[in-house]
Chains A and B, each alone.
Chain A
Amino acid sequence: MSGVMEKARKADEGRARAMSGLRERWAALPRSWRYGVIVALIVLLYYLPGLQPPLLYTPGTDFTTVLFLCAVYVLIAVGLNVVVGLAGLLDLGYVGFYAVGAYSVAILGSPDSPVVVKFPWLVCVPIAIAIAMVSGVILGWPTLRLRGDYLAIVTLGFGEIIANIATFSGITNGTRGIGSVPQPSEANWPSWMNWFPGAATGQPIFDVAHVVGYYWLALTVVLICIFGVRRLERSRVGRSWLAIREDEEAAEIMGVPTFKYKLWAFAIGAALGGLSGALFFSKQQFINSTTFDLFTSILWVAAVVIGGAGNQFGVAVGAILLAYLPERFREFADYRLLTFGVVLIVMTIFRPQGLFPSRRRSVELQDRAKEVTVDA
């Protein structure tokens, strides 16, 4: 057994070396080349629904729908990464913010909701983001004075409370749910978009049967959010988050207002969670209380950890795997939790830093592995 592990670990070390080499090579490329590659990748992402690539293609489910799901999950992972990966706060109730965003849009925009007002989508979404953000601040204000395990327990409770409110409160209609969640727009595809499959003239852009419009919307939102978070990451804000993650007390003594930045991390995470909920249920058109359980929260944290907490590319890959694999291998979808559990165990043994670790963490864990071998 130990021989097998040894071999696997060696193979993984080799891969890690190859990857860090790749990273250096990427950093060494001229700026224009890097931008070129990124633009090409983005174009490819937008074009994916038209390609229907043979190996990736999902049997039994519309491929574009799966892509949309992936995009929403990436948005969730990017938001959760700010809280878990950058600021180092373990949040097990993230589904709560997702639910708050989703229900805000449904309640404010749907004619079926008990609330009489009916706002258009474009008004609902900013309000939903704001409400999610405020709920993040309300949750964070008293609880961010707690540390580690305690924070995890409180956030876990928050997720459950939101789920219970969704089930039992009159305004959310419980398990019967709310239908006719507003769509982003009622407009039809213009004729000049005819060339793209799924974008036929006269068809509505946001249509449950042809979700290209939804996918493009979600992808655009995701790209903007990734860009925004990246900007924060590379400023004093990101530095403060990392310092808090590393040593909160030392950070505060070095002049970092730790509580303020933790609260910001929480608020930004909550806003992104709310936005992803709003996006997903605008496509779904129907919302009820059954989808917001604890397992969802835990799966999302698992996706962030498996992808590589702290690295946006890594967590995006983790989220895509979480969304895509059950759709691709439908026959195993029921074993999703089991599979994730096994993968997590295997990962903690062979690759605790995640698939695509942030630069810092990979170095840390490599060193730790070296220390272990020296001790043995």
Chain B
Amino acid sequence: MPDQGLGTPLLEVDHVTLRFGGVVALNDVDFTVRKGEILGLIGPNGAGKTTCFNAITGVVRPTSGAIRFAGSKVVGRKRYKITRLGIARTFQNIRLFPEMTALENVLVGADARHKTSVVGALFRLYRVRVRANELTAVTAGSGMLRSVQSLRRTGQKVFGLSRHTLEERAARERALELMRLVGIEQRTGELARNLSYGEQRRLEIARALATEPDLLCLDEPAAGFNPAEKESLLALIRKIRDTGVTVLLIEHDMRLVMGVTDRIVVLEFGKKIAEGSPAEIRDNPAVIAAYLGVPTDAA
């Protein structure tokens, strides 16, 4: 794991308040996600965890407060631009594209980084400048065209190949790699709706990772999983972190959260009530009260 910049703030949620009419969904929430860590966001039902995600990804706009990602403002930016900034997310209630194949779902994510225009996709003009990490995709072609391409390659310019084809090939390779990472590589051609529940959750993670994020926000990725599935998901989350992606994790299951996170932020009724390492959180009386309720005589 690259140690550079580790621990510097990546996402800053700066005193964010969000009201829906009279309801205060987020009340002066303030926390920071640091580069390279796994931060858990927990709290009882209705605490505002998902609302917090929605504010970060631009689905809802905070009433006041600021959100900064790697120094740039997030609030007010268009949703797809926030994604291109480097924030990706999954959904609590799975929202895949059900009538597209699993592979196509991941490719939609990869398209966030693609530069082919509509006109370019139509005419596929045959000359392209290649980035170093795309060179494998150039050689992935076969037959006569490939030898022509390698013959006429001068420096980084490749002739006989369009940006569309190059990006399509590179994206396919990358998508397969991601599907292998999350463990559904044998289901590439299947429609997303036909995948099992667990596979759909994993596909969502692959799709989010395909957008090449710096920060991955997982909204209850283990909901409905059995202990064995949860265990393998934990391993997956760690693996993702080790590839250099920072993870922000919403989770209900305390054991799972304690097992994987570096730090935890606790919300209750839209307010942050605690922040700290898993051990600190476990012993925090306010957290215990929030989860178990406070006995009436103590209050």
Contact = CB atoms under 8 A, between A and B. Distances in A.
- Please determine whether chains A and B interact with each other in the same assembly: yes
Interface of A: 228, 231-232, 235-237, 239-240, 242-243, 246-247, 249-258, 264, 360-361, 363-364, 367
A368 to B, nearest CB: 10
Interface of B: 57-59, 78-80, 83-84, 88-89, 91, 95-100, 104, 107-109, 111-114, 116, 118, 121-122, 124, 164, 167-168, 191, 193-194, 207-208, 211
Nearest to A252: B79
A252 B80 contact: yes
A83 to B, nearest CB: 14
A256 B111 contact: yes
Q: Which of B98, B113, B124 is most buried by chain A, counting CB atoms within 10 A of its CB? A: B98
Contact of A228 (B89, B112, B122): B122
Given A232-B118, A232-B121, A360-B191, A254 B99 contact: no
B67 to A, nearest CB: 15
23 contacts: A231-B124, A235-B121, A239-B107, A239-B108, A240-B108, A242-B97, A246-B100, A247-B97, A252-B78, A252-B80, A253-B58, A253-B59, A253-B79, A253-B83, A253-B89, A254-B108, A254-B208, A254-B211, A255-B83, A255-B111, A256-B112, A363-B194, A364-B191
Given A253-B59, A255-B111, A231 B104 contact: no
Contacts of A231: 121-122, 124
Contacts of A252: 78-80
Given A239-B107, A240-B111, A251 B97 contact: yes
B80 A232 contact: no
B187 to A, nearest CB: 14
A231 B124 CA distance: 9
Contacts of B58: 253
A361 B97 CA distance: 12
Contacts of B98: 246, 364
Given A232-B118, A361-B99, 8 more contacts: A235-B168, A247-B95, A252-B80, A253-B58, A253-B59, A253-B79, A254-B208, A364-B99
B42 to A, nearest CB: 23
A227 to B, nearest CB: 10
Contacts of A232: 118, 121-122
A246 to B, nearest CB: 4
Contact of A236 (B78, B79, B121): B121
Contacts of A236: 107, 111, 114, 116, 121, 164, 167-168
Q: Which of B88, B118, B208 is most buried by chain A, counting CB atoms within 10 A of its CB? A: B118
Nearest to A250: B95
